[in-house]
Amino acid sequence: MSLINSLKPGGKHGVPSSESRDPIGFLVAGLSKLAQSDLIDTLRLRKSTEQAVFTVTRNGFKTMTTASRTFARAGSRGVDGVRLPAARPRGVFDLTPTEDQQMLVDVVTEFADEVVRPAATEANETCEAPEALLKASLEIGLPILGVPESLGGISEERSAMAGTLVAEALSRGDLGLAVATLAPGSVATALGLWGTDAQQQTYLPAFTGDDVPAAALALNEATVLFDVLSPSTTATRTADGFVLSGVKTLVPRGAQAELFVVGALLDDKPVLFLVESSSTGLSVEADPAMGVRAASLTRLHLDQVTVPADAVLGATDGTTYVECVRLSRLAWCALAIGTGQAVLDYVTPYVKQRQAFGEPIAHRQSVAFMVADIAIELQAMRLVTYKAAARAAAGKNFTREVALARKICADKGMRIGLDGVQLLGGHGFVKEHPVERWYRDLRAIGIMEGSVLV
Amino acid sequence: MINLDDPQKFRPLVGQAHQVAMNMLRPISRKYDQAEHEYPQELDMLAAMIDGLSDSGASEGAGAAGVRREESDGDTTIKNGANLASVMSIAEMCWGDVGLLLSMPRQGLGNSAIASVANPEQLERFEGVWAGMAITEPGVGSDSANIRTTATLDGDHYVINGEKIYVTAGDRADAIVVWATLDRDLGRAAIKSFVVPKGTPGMRVDRLEHKLGIRASDTATITFENCRVPAENLLGSAEVDVKQGFAGAMATFDNTRPLVAAMAIGCARASLDLTRDLLEQSGVVVDYDRPAIVQSAAAAKFLQMEADWEGAYLLTLQAAWMADNREPNSLEASMAKAKAGRVGSDITLSCVELAGSIGYSETELLEKWSRDSKILDIFEGTQQIQQLIVARRVLGLSSAELK
């Protein structure tokens, strides 16, 4: 790099590349460099800094992915795995969940209230889900929700609707922790939906057993105007399999994951690949973001990673990948609804208690109408999402419905986060209240692709 | 089991309504937009046809007739009934033309009031009567508890005095459902509705409004001067129950608000359908799988509008579905109307913008729909009234606390 280029301020620290420095600017930049240097520390001019935790700061520190267990090969390759039958609604407009769904929702709601919410603040700080919480999430069956009964799961039919209700209930507790706990089950669900007999027999026993591995669906990439349908991660055919290269971002619990489902372009079509974490060429780096921090987000580097021929999950013509993207968006819509509900439930008592000008601020229309609009848009988000989910579960085309759900949940979800903070005023801006966290989490909707699915 | 697809059993009904809207309303849509106050005689034949369909059982509550709460019969299976049928067919008809739908004989909002609060004897007596609705007064709009029109019992008649404005189909309807107070000192509990047949001495249509939109529908100012109506024309109970307050009269709104939401939905969908077509002709096709940000601004706007539309539509179906299944739905009815009202305006106005001069010119109907839609965020409770109702319910505040 030329000297001139290194003196240019742009292209780093969020400064546009068109910026230039004037003499004062150079002086200030020099002072800033000095202020950051170790020299200052050896002179004991600064309090000792805290040890940066891997997942909390993005420091470019790459590490090997965790060594995966040995997934014992089993089953027949090239033979379709078990497929769940579609739900069969009787053609009646109905908003009533089935008894089984309601039972699930009740269990998960209790878990969200009593375990998830109390853990949310600290998990956000440490960028880590507590071990006990992850364990408890296994006990209530989250990883096997979408796994067919005959393969050790609890599902008798397509689980998109049940999964949507569960994700919503869970994220009412906390969105970040919801992602952390739903990520393994998302991979298991994907195996149930698209896995061959061999893939199901090889991997699913780990998810239905006692020692469930962390696993993640990695579709995001660090591209401006990212289009998930055109990933820049590539898959190249070799004599006995494929070579994958690229970088995936915002991968939940990537440092712990033992199995990844990675999206890559193969012959110009997006395709899903099963990648075990012990594969050579995989490395992982902390990728903390403004929100969803409890999910320990990471960047997954694939440097000439070799995978066998049967690592392809589903079809190679792009159809499986697109369906996966849609089901993942559905999950993020559900997470938005749960978080929006958390905001509504929180601001409602707050505005009734908070006094200004001698009466509760709820008595003012400008405040009350904001709450009303949160309630209205939240219910609209919920209905549009449920429609898409019910169609997915029934095996109907839900392309349009999920696109609309994603749009309304991204737009109105963010609005709810924004208004939630506004309704609390200064209290909304400080970490004493969870509303600022929901604000950060809700920005993820509409950006996130993959990570979870229903 | 959760399923938000359109009810299967109403497909024929909606299909018929769509054909009527396309083949009967659309061809005369511009004509009566321009010829304001002229009676759309084509509608008489249409009304006869719809009656025929009703008699044949082919349709289930094609309009305002079907919004009554049936008494519980202990059956707990989920029903898709008259309320859903009504909102769906009304949306379809308004895809054709809102103004003409409002002028449909025997489908007035007054009919909804009758269907909602009349006793069995009245239901029978007023069957087939086309009824308009008179609530608003020159000095009273959203605060309908303050109406000044009075009804005084005199023997076996009530004597009505007052002035009503914005009476939809006020000149054309067979009868007007008039809101009047039995005793202004007793507040909202004393407000009752009365069926006043056309031609009753003392009732006089003073003038018809010239309007921004829904010009096919006549909007009348009606004066009542010592207008005597039989006591049995008071809808529901004559008792002034201070505890129950306004609930009786307001119950009508739980039924009519989803209908108005349905009108906004139908009108907005007309704009969306045409705009999608026009955009496709100029090479903009909405891709549901690609992120909106990588598509053209027009496609991204379209996605946002369609998503909002879907939300409004499903809120409306929800409110009607709850009524069909005898669940109280005041909150959901107001949510539906608030969302549909504002979405209706955003969509119809944005579609004009997207279509440019094609949208603005009278050569297309886009500009008309953007005028028609505005009233739907106003009548049967403005946007702000809906927000007020929703806010009070959600926050658990009384009307004294949240004014």
Query: B2 and A383 in contact by Cβ < 8 A?
Result: no
Name the maximum alpha-carbon separation found in chain B: 73
> Nearest CA to CA, how far is B321 from chain A (Å)?
8
Q: Which residues of B touch A326 (CB under 8 A)?
A: 289
User: Chain A: residue nearest B294 by CA?
Assistant: A225
Q: Name the residue ranges covered by the structural domains of chain A.
A: 3-42, 324-451
Q: Does B6 touch chain A (CB under 8 A)?
A: yes
Tally Cβ neighbours within 10 Å of residue A63: 12
Query: A390 and B4 in contact by Cβ < 8 A?
Result: yes
- As a whole number of angstroms, the distance between CA A345 and CA A340 comes to 9
b/e A197-226 (16+ beta carbons within 10 angstroms → b)? bbbbbbbbebbbeeebbbbbbbbbbeeeeb
pLDDT below 50 — which residues of chain B? 57-68
Length of chain B: 403
Interface test with A, best of B395, B398, B399, B401 (most A CBs within 10 A): B395
Which residues in chain B (165-224) have CB-CB distances under 8 A to chain A? none
Which residue in the set A228, A384, A403 is minimally distant from B288, CB to CB? A403
Residue B228 DSSP one-character state: E
Residue-range domains of chain B with CATH: 8-122 (1.10.540), 129-233 (2.40.110.10), 247-395 (1.20.140.10)
Contact criterion met (CB below 8 Å) for A270 and A229 = yes
How many contiguous H segments (helices) and E segments (strands) does chain B have? 12, 7
* Long-range residue pairs from B117-125, CB within 8 A, at least 24 positions apart, any chain: B117/B193, B117/B235, B117/B236, B117/B248, B117/B249, B117/B251, B117/B252, B118/B235, B118/B236, B119/B236, B121/B232, B122/B195, B122/B232, B122/B233, B122/B235, B123/B68
Q: Which residues of B touch A375 (CB under 8 A)?
A: 335, 390, 394
For residue B256, what are the contacts with CB-CB under 8 A and spacing of at least 6?
Answer: B67, B109, B112, B113, B116, B380
> Nearest CA to CA, how far is B263 from chain A (Å)?
18
Q: Which residues of B touch A400 (CB under 8 A)?
A: 288
Asked whether the predicted pLDDT for residue A338 surpasses 70, the reply is yes
pLDDT in tens, A110-121: 999 999 999 999
Read off the tokens for A30. Answer: 């020099």
Cα B174 to its chain centre, rounded Å, is 18
- As a whole number of angstroms, the distance between CA A423 and CA A352 comes to 11
Three-state SS for A306?
strand
Residue B155 DSSP one-character state: T
Query: B4 and A407 in contact by Cβ < 8 A?
Result: no
Phi and psi (nearest 5°) for A228?
-60, -25
User: Chain A: residue nearest B389 by CA?
Assistant: A372
Q: Which residues of B touch A322 (CB under 8 A)?
A: 289
Q: Which residues of B touch A371 (CB under 8 A)?
A: 391, 394-395
The angle formed by the CA atoms of residues A239, A240 and A242, to the nearest 5 degrees, is 90
Q: Does A102 touch chain B (CB under 8 A)?
A: no
Length of chain A: 454
Query: B338 and A375 in contact by Cβ < 8 A?
Result: no
Task: Indicate the average pLDDT of chain A.
Answer: 92
The pLDDT of residue B52: 67
- Of the ranges A140-149, A283-292, B105-114, B275-284, which one carries the lowest mean pLDDT score? B105-114
Which residues in chain B (78-117) have CB-CB distances under 8 A to chain A? 78-80, 84
Q: Does A95 touch chain B (CB under 8 A)?
A: yes
- As a whole number of angstroms, the distance between CA A260 and CA A254 comes to 8
- As a whole number of angstroms, the distance between CA A290 and CA A417 comes to 13
Which residues in chain A (410-439) have CB-CB distances under 8 A to chain B? 411
Q: Which residues of A touch B397 (CB under 8 A)?
A: 352, 362-363, 368
> Nearest CA to CA, how far is A419 from chain B (Å)?
15
- As a whole number of angstroms, the distance between CA B288 and CA A96 comes to 28
Residue A361 DSSP one-character state: G
Q: Does B383 touch chain A (CB under 8 A)?
A: no
Which residue in the set A227, A344, A363 is minimally distant from B291, CB to CB? A227
Which residues in chain A (328-357) have CB-CB distances under 8 A to chain B? 344, 348, 351-352
Which residues in chain B (236-275) have CB-CB distances under 8 A to chain A? none
Asked whether the predicted pLDDT for residue A40 surpasses 70, the reply is no
Q: Which residues of B touch A95 (CB under 8 A)?
A: 2, 4, 318, 321
Whole-Å CA distances, B199 to A48, B118, B173, B224, B229? 92, 22, 11, 12, 11
Contact criterion met (CB below 8 Å) for B317 and A93 = yes
Query: B303 and A403 in contact by Cβ < 8 A?
Result: yes
Query: B5 and A375 in contact by Cβ < 8 A?
Result: no
The pTM of the full predicted model, rounded to 2 decimals, is: 0.93
The pLDDT of residue B104: 87
The pLDDT of residue A36: 73
Asked whether the predicted pLDDT for residue A51 surpasses 60, the reply is no
Query: A362 and B9 in contact by Cβ < 8 A?
Result: no
The pLDDT of residue B97: 97
Read off the tokens for A235. Answer: 């898959």
> Nearest CA to CA, how far is A119 from chain B (Å)?
28
Whole-Å CA distances, A204 to A327, B73, B217? 19, 49, 64
> Nearest CA to CA, how far is B179 from chain A (Å)?
28
Contact criterion met (CB below 8 Å) for A386 and B4 = yes
Helix (H) or strand (E) holding B356: helix B330-360
> Nearest CA to CA, how far is A128 from chain B (Å)?
30
DSSP string for A165-208:
HHHHHHHHH-HHHHHHHHHHHHHHHHHHHH-BHHHHHHHHHHHH
Read off the tokens for B398. Answer: 């009384």
Contact criterion met (CB below 8 Å) for B86 and B64 = yes
Q: Which residues of B are catalytic?
A: 380
Which residue in the set A89, A226, A380 is minimally distant from B312, CB to CB? A380
> Nearest CA to CA, how far is B389 from chain A (Å)?
8
Q: Which residues of A touch B299 (CB under 8 A)?
A: none
Read off the tokens for A297. Answer: 């987000």
- As a whole number of angstroms, the distance between CA A271 and CA A314 comes to 8
- Residue at A228: amino acid letter: V
- As a whole number of angstroms, the distance between CA B215 and CA B219 comes to 9
Contact criterion met (CB below 8 Å) for A441 and A339 = yes
pLDDT in tens, A361-415: 999 999 999 999 999 999 999 999 999 999 999 999 999 999 999 999 999 999 9
DSSP string for B83-97:
HHHHHHHHHHHHHH-
A–B interface: beta-carbon pairs under 8 A: 173
Three-state SS for B74?
coil
The pLDDT of residue B109: 80
- Residue at A436: amino acid letter: E
Contact criterion met (CB below 8 Å) for A170 and A162 = no
Three-state SS for B58?
coil
Read off the tokens for B119. Answer: 């006793």
Phi and psi (nearest 5°) for B121?
-65, -45
> Nearest CA to CA, how far is B32 from chain A (Å)?
35
Interface test with B, best of A94, A223, A227, A341 (most B CBs within 10 A): A94
Contact criterion met (CB below 8 Å) for A185 and A146 = yes
Contact criterion met (CB below 8 Å) for B159 and B194 = no
Class of domain A324-451: mainly alpha
Read off the tokens for B104. Answer: 């449909």
- As a whole number of angstroms, the distance between CA A269 and CA A288 comes to 30
Q: Which residues of B touch A376 (CB under 8 A)?
A: 315, 335, 338-339, 390
The pLDDT of residue B54: 60
pLDDT in tens, A245-258: 999 999 999 999 99
Q: Which residues of B touch A394 (CB under 8 A)?
A: 3
Work out the percent of chain A whose per-residue pLDDT is above 90.
82
- As a whole number of angstroms, the distance between CA A318 and CA A270 comes to 5
Between A265 and B247, where is the model more confident? A265
The pLDDT of residue B142: 82
- As a whole number of angstroms, the distance between CA B398 and CA A156 comes to 47
Exposed, middle or buried: residue B298 (CB in 10 Å: 0-12, 13-18, 19+)?
A: middle
- Of the ranges A201-205, A445-449, B246-250, which one carries the lowest mean pLDDT score? B246-250
